Amino acid sequence: MQHSVSPLVESLWRFGIVGLIGLGVWIVLRSGRVMLGNAAFAAIAAAATAALVARGTADIIAVVAGVLAAAACGALFGVAAARATSTGFAIASLALWAVELSMRAPAGAVLRSQGSPVFVVIAVAGAGVAAWFYARSRHGRAAAAVGQDERAAQGIGIDPVRVRVTAVTVGALLAGVAGSLSVFYPGFDITAYRLHGDIAAFAAVVLGGAGGALGPLVGAALVAIAAVAPVTKEHATAVNAVALLAATIVLPGGIASIFSRAARR
Amino acid sequence: MHRRLGRREFTLTQSFIDIAFRGSIYALFAIGYALTYVAGGTFNVAHPVSAMAAAAAVSWLLARDQPIWVAAGGGVIAGAIAGVIVDRVVLWPARSRGGGPLGPARPLIAGLAALAAFGALAPETERPTHLLHAGYFHIGGFNMPKLTIEGTIASVVALLIVVAIVRATRYGLGLRALGSNTSAARAAGVGAEPMHIRTALLASMCGALAAIALLTAPDYFTGRSTPFDLPLAGLAAVALGGLSSLPASMIGAFIVASAQILAPTADASDAIAAALLVLAIALLPRGLLAATRLRETDRG
């Protein structure tokens, strides 16, 4: 990378971006589906925002437009895949990798990449709090019910398709916030979303713990700290992937499960 | 009949041969997905690892002046070993420990992690360009590299062998029994884990051979292919045909190949596969040939 920022600033940016995409993955996971390509929505938002910024549009308008574009794409994907089986949904979400692979940043956008991480940290903190309240809301409980047992949820009047479309849309919206704000990241590189973004997000969710909204944020903090190491994008992805694999097999409840076990004792 | 594809004039005959070439490779790759799903009821996201390992081994052997057939054999062995290692080290532990907040998604996520780790560290592969230009067959008014024709024949023969194995061997009977009713098959003495190992071996050999055959693609296919080209087409094939049916996966593969070859632009093969994949999941959630499914428990 050619940019030079302090490790703290770098970590804060990574924490915000990975945390937001990870929260989106967690919301979809809660409804019983695995979204393997949520970073594609971040890439869509980043491309849209970068294109608008490069044409001189006001930053705030560009960010909002990028987020809305990601949410609209998420809603479309949700409508298409919400009726699929869990395996079918996961396979369909892999199609989003084609979007990640095809993304190119418009020329000129990089020149504006000199923002502070304050906004993305505020965004991820706000999203974390919102996700915590969401998990306790009527819709959040309905999503959890659908994730646990779809037929039982239908039996008490919950529409699984509507719940899943909403979950995918909200997940895409959060990824969109990450993508739009990442345009102002000093090391902005839209190709970083190609699989690397998905792996970092999943590593955050599983390492932190998929049992609650705080888990993805704790995991994102770990991923962000590890990302400061001077390694290539590919090596960072390999480290995240190995950590994800180890946590999936050995510690599926994530770090949060260690604390909850200790609290129970 | 002539049509434009990329920068090259294509005849109907050439399109037909290209569909046979691409379709047989996609079918070989797709049945790897289908076999592991039928055996275990879980989708193996890490299936492309065997293809990547095979392609890397072939490149490595060719760079050391080994003949193409030695390199291809080495590639298939490397792919098979990689596939079995992934099954034993990644999928089996994830499959056997249910529960927790990840629930049945654990094998999917573990497979994703294995794919990403291997993909990030795998060496770049090189096509055997010098061998592709070593000899041509003159078919229907155009020249086709001998190596491409040999790759197509090898893919078709491998497909027929896999179908014969599943239909007419004791292993195939066990696989079909596991797919129909896992508990009953276990009660009847079918060992689930040995079946998983054999299936991982067979599926990864298919994936490896598909990747090796794709290395023999004619020059006009390269440059528009991404590293995700083969897995994406394989996924679209199983989504179209149905994940738990081998014949349907093959039909899906040829549909994907036809759509890519007959498309007005040569640069949209990934987009076409992705669009077919999402459309198939949305409109045909159980696949084109639902009646030929080997696994009946995919209702979750």
Question: Is residue A62 within 8 Å of A109, Cβ to Cβ?
Answer: no
Residues A195/B119, Cβ–Cβ less than 8 Å? yes
Q: What is the pLDDT of residue B296?
A: 52
Residue B224 has a pLDDT of: 47
- The pLDDT of A10-33, averaged and rounded, is 92
- C-alpha span between B173 and A139 (Å, rounded): 46
Q: Where are the alpha helices (DSSP H) in chain A?
A: 7-30, 39-54, 59-81, 86-94, 96-102, 118-136, 138-148, 150-155, 160-182, 196-208, 214-227, 233-250, 254-264
In whole angstroms, what is the distance from residue B270 CA to residue A6 CA?
Answer: 38
**CB-CB neighbours of A152 under 10 Å:** 11
Percent of chain A with pLDDT over 90: 48
Neighbours of B24 (CB within 10 A): 25
Predicted confidence (pLDDT) per residue in A67-107, tens digit: 999 999 999 999 999 998 888 899 999 999 888 888 765 55
- Amino acid present at B45: V
pLDDT given for residue B299 in this prediction:
41
CB B76 within 8 A of CB B190: no
Distance from CA of B113 to the nearest CA of A (A): 5
Handedness of CA B48, B52, B53, B55 (dihedral sign): positive
Tens digits of per-residue pLDDT, B238-248? Answer: 999 888 888 88
The structure's pTM equals 0.87
pLDDT score at B226: 52
What is the per-residue pLDDT across B106-125, written as a single tens digit (0 to 9) for each?
A: 899 999 999 999 988 887 77
**pLDDT category, B220, cuts 50, 70, 90?**
low
Under the phi-then-psi rule, with left for phi > 0, alpha for psi from -120 to 50, and beta for the rest, what region is A204? alpha
For B55, residues 6+ apart whose C-beta sits below 8 A from its C-beta are: B75, B125, B211, B212, B214, B215
Q: Residue A16 in contact with residue A178, Cβ under 8 Å?
A: yes
* Per-residue pLDDT at A3: 53
Tell me whether B226 touches chain A (CB under 8 Å): yes
Q: Which of A34, A102, A234 sits opposite B120 (nearest CB)?
A: A234
> What is the model's pLDDT at position A1?
41
How far off is chain A from B119, nearest CA to CA, in Å? 8
Q: Verify whether the Cβ–Cβ distance B228 to A36 is below 8 Å.
A: no
Question: CA dihedral defined by A238, A240, A241, A242, rounded to 10 degrees?
Answer: 90
- A46-55, A242-251, B264-273: segment of lowest average pLDDT: B264-273
* Structure confidence at residue A231 (pLDDT): 73
Which among A83, A102, A248 has CB closest to B110? A248
- How far apart CA A49 and CA A90 sit, in angstroms, is 28
Q: Quote the minimal CA–CA distance from B181 to chain A in Å.
A: 18
Q: Do B112 and A92 touch (CB under 8 A)?
A: no
Contact by Cβ (8 Å): A199, B46: no
* Terminal C-alpha separation, chain A: 47
**Are residues A90 and B271, on separate chains, in Cβ contact within 8 Å?**
no
* Yes or no, beta carbons of A235 and B97 under 8 Å apart: no
Burial tier of A206 (Cβ tally within 10 Å: 0-12, 13-18, 19+): buried
| Candidate from B90, B101, B285 with C-beta closest to A85 | B285
Q: Above 80 in pLDDT, residue A178?
A: yes
CB A90 within 8 Å of CB A29: no
pLDDT bin (cut points 50, 70, 90) of residue B2 is very low
Q: What's the whole-number mean pLDDT along residues B15-37?
A: 91
Residues of chain A with C-beta less than 8 angstroms from the C-beta of B45: 36, 90, 94
Q: Is the CB of A86 less than 8 angstroms away from the CB of B90?
A: no
Residues from chain B that touch A206, judged by Cβ atoms under 8 A, are: 102, 109
Q: Average model confidence (pLDDT) for chain A?
A: 87
User: Cβ of A81 and B108 within 8 Å?
Assistant: no
| Overall average pLDDT of the B147-170 stretch | 90
- Segment A230-257 shows an average pLDDT of 85
pLDDT 10s digits, B173-204: 999 888 888 888 888 888 888 999 999 999 99
Nearest CA-CA distance, residue B176 and chain A, Å: 20
Per-residue confidence (pLDDT) for residue B179, from 0 to 100: 82
pLDDT band at B6 (very low <50, low <70, confident <90, very high): very low
pLDDT at A110 over 60: no
**Is the pLDDT assigned to residue B94 strictly greater than 50?**
yes
State residue A111's pLDDT score: 47
Q: Tokens at residue A27, please? A: 């919301």
Give the count of alpha carbons within 13 A of B69, CB side only: 2
Confidence of residue B57 (pLDDT cuts 50, 70, 90): very high
**Chain A residues within an 8 Å CB radius of B235:** 91, 94-95
Question: Is any Cβ of chain A less than 8 angstroms from the Cβ of B187?
Answer: no
Average pLDDT, chain B: 84
Cβ contact B109–A248 (<8 Å): yes
φ, ψ of residue B145 to 5 degrees: the values are: -55, 140
pLDDT higher than threshold 80 for residue B250:
yes
Is the Cβ of B109 closer than 8 Å to some Cβ of chain A?
Answer: yes
pLDDT digits (tens, 9 = 90+) for A121-161: 888 889 989 988 888 888 889 999 998 888 999 999 999 99
pLDDT at A187 over 80: no
Q: Is A200 helix (H, G, I), strand (E, B) or coil?
A: helix
Q: What whole-number percentage of chain A has pLDDT above 70?
A: 93
A19: distance to nearest CA of chain B, Å?
18
CB-closest option in B101, B114, B239 to A91: B239
SS (H, E, C) chain B: CEEEECCEEEEHHHHHHHHHHHHHHHHHHHHHHHHHHHHHCCCCCCCHHHHHHHHHHHHHHHHCCCCHHHHHHHHHHHHHHHHHHHHHHHHHHHHHCCCCCCHHHHHHHHHHHHHHHHHHHCCCCCCCHHHHCCCEEEECCEEEEHHHHHHHHHHHHHHHHHHHHHHHCHHHHHHHHHHHCHHHHHHCCCCHHHHHHHHHHHHHHHHHHHHHHHHCCCHHHCCCCCCCHHHHHHHHHHHHHCCCCHHHHHHHHHHHHHHHHHCCCCCCHHHHHHHHHHHHHHHCCCCCCHHHCCCCCCCC
Domain boundaries, chain A: 7-194
Over range A219-239, report the average pLDDT: 83
> Across the strands, what pairs with B9?
B4
b/e burial code for range B79-104 (CB count within 10 A of at least 16 → b): bbbbbbbbbeebbbbbbeeeebbbbb
Q: Which residues contact A264 (CB under 8 A, 6 or more apart)?
A: none
Q: Is the minimum CB–CB distance between B124 and chain A shorter than 8 Å?
A: no
CB atoms within 10 A of CB A116: 12
